[in-house]
Amino acid sequence: MERLKSLLEEKVAQYNNTDFIANDPISFPHSFSRHEDIEIVALLASVIAWGNRKMILRSGNKMFHEIMHSAPYEFVMSGEWEQLDDRQNIHRTFFVSDLKYICRGLRAIFLRYGSMEQLFVGHSTWDGIERLRNELAEANGGVTTRHISNPVSVKGKPGSACKRMHMMLRWLCRNDGIVDIGIWKAVSPSQLMIPIDVHVARTARILGLVTRKQNDRRTVEELTEKLRYLSPEDPIRYDFALFGVGEAGDSFIEKLNNTK
């Protein structure tokens, strides 16, 4: 495991640098300084963070700078979104009607709590995600959204991996002074769970860090437990290594495989 940790740290150093920001959805919260703006943008950027990355960046620019006029908090709290056409497409299956849903929920959250962070304080990240879903639903007549996955087990099936929400939490809770912003101080990086996608899962399975074939909540917990062994105070730092290697498909993956 020490050899594995050394190799993963090598890749963290390679991928966790400022060059990563420009071509990643985290570039959107990085472009704001107001606390409330960063929260709103982090949530919405993570929600649309699926599919082709160039398309994600185009869609984010459209949403944050054209539709929201580069003032997300004012846009949410003013209710200006109510005047938009529900049918306008923003990103793939995410339409203005979905943006309105989230804006309506966020306005209620900010009025009640002052920050989304309060939904996670004193709770596990899984429970925080469930609380966020429930608050959004309450503000929208009890209707849940398909754009924020359910971490709760349903009919015996494990809850979702909630990859995009865990990615948002990484952005908001880790402050490495490089890529992650870390404006939330009451949620420790040690509490975070790995945002697992096809790239992270592929690398983790090659390394023998996970045994399950599904990418669900149980797999996230299995992998995060292994990463906590390597770095109890900041296990999700290895997201950069696992994702970077998996996406790049570079020859280093064989080097990693040989450490098993």
Provide mean pLDDT across the span 158-182: 97
Helix (H) or strand (E) holding 57: helix 53-61
Over residues 157-180, the mean pLDDT reads 96
pLDDT (0 to 100) of residue 258? 60
**What digits encode the pLDDT tens for the residues 133-146?**
999 999 999 999 99
The predicted pLDDT at position 226 comes to 96
Average pLDDT over residues 33-42: 98
Q: Is the pLDDT of residue 22 over 70?
A: yes
- Asked if pLDDT for residue 259 goes beyond 60, the answer is no
pLDDT at residue 2, as a whole number:
86
Per residue in 223-251, pLDDT tens?
Answer: 999 999 999 999 999 999 999 887 777 56
In this predicted structure, what is the pLDDT of residue 164?
97
Measure the CA–CA gap between 26 and 45, rounded to whole angstroms.
Answer: 7
Number of other residues whose CB lies within 10 A of the CB of residue 59 = 21
Mean pLDDT on 1-20: 91
pLDDT at 260 over 60: no
First to last CA, the chain: 8
Q: With 70 as the cut, is the pLDDT of residue 212 above it? A: yes
d(CA 205, CA 202): 5
Burial class of residue 205 in the structure, from the number of CB atoms within 10 Å of its CB (0-12 exposed, 13-18 middle, 19+ buried): middle
Helix (H) or strand (E) holding 78: helix 72-78
Average pLDDT, rounded, for the chain:
94
In DSSP notation, 209-242 reads S---SS-BHHHHHHHHHHHHHH-TT-GGGGHHHH
Beta bridge partners of 95: 89
d(CA 230, CA 238): 9
* pLDDT surpasses 60 at 256: no
CA distance 218 to 221: 5
157 SS3 class: strand
pLDDT category at 124 given cuts 50, 70, 90 is very high
Give the residue-averaged pLDDT of 147-172. 95
Q: Tell me the pLDDT tens digit for each residue of 67-120.
A: 999 999 999 999 999 999 999 999 999 999 999 999 999 999 999 999 999 999
As given in the structure block, the two tokens for residue 127 are 């429970």
